[in-house]
């Protein structure tokens, strides 16, 4: 039944968006986590989504979402002169994470709006199904 597909699709989108929100919050939390060298410093992470056919019910029309993977940003790390920092290297520099606050805030708002619209879809479908069950009463 196609209305049941809506629950799977909106559910997959909601879980994907919550992964995105999760990644954003860890980026924001680690925005100030400095490191002693390039490898150990935190790098901004980003999830990548891909469409996935829900072929279980044999209905090729319904397409859900899955998180394909989480990738670390390869942007250059900024260096800052902090000779008193215990993590500083021989020249007295520490590495700052390449987290862009503006990007992260925009990502957060986008993820929460997408999540909300999927919840709305789910609620509407639920009402449609309940109305169908009451048919003829």
Partner 1 sequence: MAISFDKALGNLPGNLTLYGKRSSLLASNMANADTPGFKARDIDFRSVLAKAGGEQISLKTTQGSHLGGASSAVSEAAKLYRIPNQPSIDGNTVDTQVETAEFTKNSINYQSTLTFLNGKFKGLRLAIKGE
**Which DSSP string corresponds to 52-97?**
EE-GGGT-TT-EEEEEEEEEE--PPPEEEE-TTSTT--TTSEEEEP
DSSP 42: -
Q: Which stretch binds partner 1 (CB under 8 A): 27-35, 72-80, 93-101, 120-128?
A: 120-128
24 in contact with partner 1 (CB under 8 A): no
The site string for partner 1 over 36-55 (x = CB under 8 A, - otherwise) reads ------------xxxx----
CB nearer partner 1, residue 26 or residue 114: 114
Residue of the chain from 17, 24, 41, 98 that contacts partner 1 (CB under 8 A): 17
Residues 6+ apart with CB under 8 A from 48: 67, 68, 69, 70, 71
Residue from the set 26, 62, 82, 85 that interacts with partner 1 by CB under 8 A: 62
């Amino acid at each position: 039944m196609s209305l049941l597909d809506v629950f799977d699709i909106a559910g997959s989108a909601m879980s994907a968006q919550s992964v995105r929100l999760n990644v954003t919050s860890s980026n924001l939390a680690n925005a100030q986590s400095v490191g002693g060298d390039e490898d150990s410093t935190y790098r901004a992470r980003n999830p990548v989504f891909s469409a996935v056919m829900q072929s279980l019910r044999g209905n090729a029309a319904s397409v859900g979402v899955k998180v394909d993977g989480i990738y670390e940003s390869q942007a250059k790390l900024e260096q800052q002169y902090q000779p008193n920092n215990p993590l500083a290297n021989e020249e007295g520099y520490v590495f700052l994470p390449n987290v862009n606050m503006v990007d992260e805030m925009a990502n957060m708002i986008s993820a929460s709006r997408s999540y909300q619209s999927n919840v709305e879809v789910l609620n509407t479908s639920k009402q449609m199904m309940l109305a169908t069950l009451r048919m003829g009463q």
